[in-house]
Amino acid sequence: MKAVEVIGIGLLLLGVSGCGVYSFSAGGKTFSSVNVSPFDNDTKEFLLSDRLTDALVDAFIQDNTVQIKEPSQAEAIMNGTVLSYRREAHTYDQQDNVEKYSVKVAVRVKVVKSGTDEAIWEKDFYAEGIYDANSETEEDGQGRVIALLTADILNQTTKSW
């Protein structure tokens, strides 16, 4: 065999050997149904908690790893609180005008076994959404934050990594 063929076969075998069984499945989840209670809100951005709650419900339905159910039928209850909300200038142009803003949100989420106060998990989440000051609105930044928080909370609930 030529050296090039031997190296090629060696690299192929090396690559295949690294492709063992690996899964992104929800092996660590301990429940199959959840109720997402309306999130509380400790900020002045009152609609943010409703938008986050709705986005979470939609994400669970779309993901279909954990079913959304009424509180009386769910194995777990998810409660959350929007802890903080800030909008800050993110970047400036040469004339010191704001080019981009940043929306920063912190949320505490707790999942308990239904009918008890026994925590399955509890965690604080933080996300930042940047938006263009000239072509977008603060709501666009909030939408980015909600998408990031939703993905993080869904992963915490359904994935074992």
> Can you give the pLDDT at residue 160?
65
pLDDT over 90, % of the chain: 77
Question: pLDDT, tens digit, for every residue of 82-134?
Answer: 999 999 999 999 999 999 999 999 999 999 999 998 999 999 999 999 999 99
Determine contact, residues 111/95, Cβ cutoff 8 Å: no
Domain parsing of the chain, residue ranges: 35-158
- Mean pLDDT value of segment 41-58: 96
What region, left, alpha or beta, does residue 135 occupy, with left being phi > 0 and alpha being psi -120 to 50 degrees?
A: alpha
Fold (topology level) of 35-158: Double Stranded RNA Binding Domain (3.30.160)
Q: Are 109 and 122 in contact (CB under 8 A)?
A: yes
